[in-house]
């Protein structure tokens, strides 16, 4: 159906016809002047819609625009809370990937010559193929009747349905991105980049990190030699819960970076945050993730999950809780407690402003309608 522009009074009529409460001469009417209609109504109406069989969307009786505004503010505040933490972790990861790369190639890799080591700070050297793992690998994903996600990694095609990681293509795309980004920085008159290139004629990796996106850095991690990846994981301290295998630790750490990158993009583009859904299958065994999800079971008990229980676990996996888990891997106990308090504070503030629906409904939409604040701290 074509969408035509509607004037202020027409929008009020439309909302009233859909059962929204908008009294005359009220602050509720003024909210449509304060906000872009799409950003307020279309983005935040879902929890307030009547779920009956009507062919035309209807709002639950009593719904007001101020409730949608409260949800918008809640979403904006959550976005800022998480963006702050993602940026902190991003800086840690960027620094550590540089440290681990040079630790290995300057001190641990016997295949590198003295000449290569002496010029490894130059992009003409450290971007060469020889410093990266360009092999192809395959992974098989499984979500069983207990709701347990696991991955098997293969170096040869297993002749079953699998995901293929073509590192040659990842490398080619990464190199193209690097030089395109540097070119854009020079054209945009980024003084630090421009002056360094003009003065030295090359760009060190530790300066390059400042202009690469989190997604670029995630791909860079994927390309590293296994020794570099394992050194990075160990130094970051994100394998201190339990060790699965080197390959699975690496692939799941890569997935953690993907989670962080996807949510960072949502924050950076100022998109609706609280309902963000991702499909990055972190293994249950990785850092005890499965035990931190609702309805965790031990397969030895032979108790299978029903459809509702599996759905609840899936919603938690695909929603903001996966971001909470990913960030928790880079936090000490106090930092995690502070994050939980900030999130709780926003839920409490929103709860006070909701009349038509309960805060439990928002938590359900988010996939956080369980004791997540206790499970995330469990060992």
- As a whole number, the mean pLDDT across the chain is 91
Asked if residue 221 has pLDDT above 90, the reply is yes
pLDDT value, residue 5? 42
Asked if residue 72 has pLDDT above 90, the reply is yes
Residue ranges of E strands in 160-210: 163-166
Is-above-0.85 flag for pTM? Answer: yes
Q: Does some domain include residue 2?
A: no
Same domain, yes or no: 14 and 136: no
Same domain, yes or no: 80 and 60: no
Q: Does some domain include residue 3?
A: no
Asked whether the beta carbons of 28 and 21 are under 8 A apart, the reply is yes
Same domain, yes or no: 30 and 105: no
Asked if residue 1 has pLDDT above 50, the reply is no
Q: Does some domain include residue 117?
A: yes
Q: Does some domain include residue 159?
A: yes
Same domain, yes or no: 215 and 256: yes
Asked whether the beta carbons of 181 and 174 are under 8 A apart, the reply is no
Asked if residue 204 has pLDDT above 90, the reply is yes
pLDDT value, residue 239? 60
Q: Does some domain include residue 169?
A: yes
Structure token digits, residue 102: 């040079």
Q: Does some domain include residue 1?
A: no
pLDDT value, residue 300? 74
The three-point CA angle 123-125-128 to 5° equals 100
The sheet carrying 149-154 orders its strands as: 149-154, 136-143, 163-166
Asked if residue 184 has pLDDT above 80, the reply is yes
Asked if residue 54 has pLDDT above 90, the reply is no
Asked whether the beta carbons of 330 and 92 are under 8 A apart, the reply is yes
CA distance 279 to 255: 10
Helix (H/G/I), strand (E/B), else coil: 150: strand
pLDDT tens string 89-118: 999 999 999 999 999 999 988 999 999 999
Backbone angles phi, psi at 311, to 5 degrees: -65, -35
pLDDT tens string 131-152: 999 999 999 989 888 888 999 9
Weakest mean pLDDT among 45-54, 261-270, 357-366: 45-54
- Rounded to an integer, the average pLDDT of 200-227 is 94
- Rounded to an integer, the average pLDDT of 154-172 is 93
Per cent of the chain over pLDDT 70 is: 97
CA distance 88 to 83: 9
pLDDT tens string 292-335: 999 988 777 778 888 999 999 999 999 999 999 999 999 999 99
Same domain, yes or no: 181 and 105: yes
Name the residue range of residue 225's domain.
68-375
Q: Does some domain include residue 237?
A: yes
Res. 269 pLDDT band, cuts 50 70 90: very high
Asked if residue 196 has pLDDT above 90, the reply is no
pLDDT value, residue 26? 76
Q: Does some domain include residue 303?
A: yes
How many structural domains does the chain have? Answer: 2
């Amino acid at each position: 159906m074509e969408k035509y522009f509607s004037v202020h009074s027409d929008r009020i009529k439309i909302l009233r016809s859909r059962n929204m409460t908008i009294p005359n001469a009220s602050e509720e009417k003024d909210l449509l002047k304060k906000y872009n209609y799409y950003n307020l109504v279309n983005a935040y109406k879902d929890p307030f819609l009547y779920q009956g069989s009507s062919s035309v969307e209807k709002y639950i009786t009593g719904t007001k625009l101020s409730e949608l505004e409260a949800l918008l503010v809640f979403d904006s505040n959550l976005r800022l809370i998480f963006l702050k933490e993602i940026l902190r972790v991003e800086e840690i990861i960027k620094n550590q990937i540089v440290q681990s790369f040079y630790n290995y190639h300057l001190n641990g890799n016997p295949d590198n010559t003295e000449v290569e080591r002496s010029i490894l700070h130059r992009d003409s050297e450290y971007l060469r193929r020889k410093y990266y793992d360009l092999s192809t690998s395959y992974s098989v994903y499984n979500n069983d009747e207990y709701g347990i996600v696991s991955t098997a990694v293969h170096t040869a095609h297993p002749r079953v349905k699998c995901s293929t990681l073509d590192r040659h293509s990842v490398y080619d795309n990464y190199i193209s991105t690097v030089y395109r980004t540097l070119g854009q920085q020079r054209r945009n008159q980024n003084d630090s980049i421009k002056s360094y290139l003009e003065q030295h004629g090359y760009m060190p990796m530790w300066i390059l990190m400042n202009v690469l996106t989190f997604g670029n850095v995630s791909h860079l991690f994927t390309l590293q030699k296994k020794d570099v990846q394992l050194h990075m994981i160990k130094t970051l301290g994100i394998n201190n819960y339990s060790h699965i295998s080197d390959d699975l630790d690496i692939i799941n750490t890569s997935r953690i970076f993907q989670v962080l990158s996807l949510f960072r993009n949502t924050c950076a583009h100022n998109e609706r945050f609280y309902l963000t859904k991702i499909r990055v299958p972190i293994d249950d065994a990785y850092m005890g993730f499965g035990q931190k999800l609702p309805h965790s079971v031990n397969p030895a008990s032979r108790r299978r999950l029903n459809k509702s229980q599996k759905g609840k676990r899936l919603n938690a996996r695909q929603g903001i809780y996966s971001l909470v888990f990913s960030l928790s891997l880079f936090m000490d106990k106090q930092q995690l407690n502070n994050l939980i308090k900030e999130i709780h504070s926003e839920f409490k503030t929103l709860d006070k402003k909701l009349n038509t629906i309960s805060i439990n409904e928002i938590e359900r939409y988010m996939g956080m309608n369980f004791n997540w604040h206790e499970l995330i701290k469990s060992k």
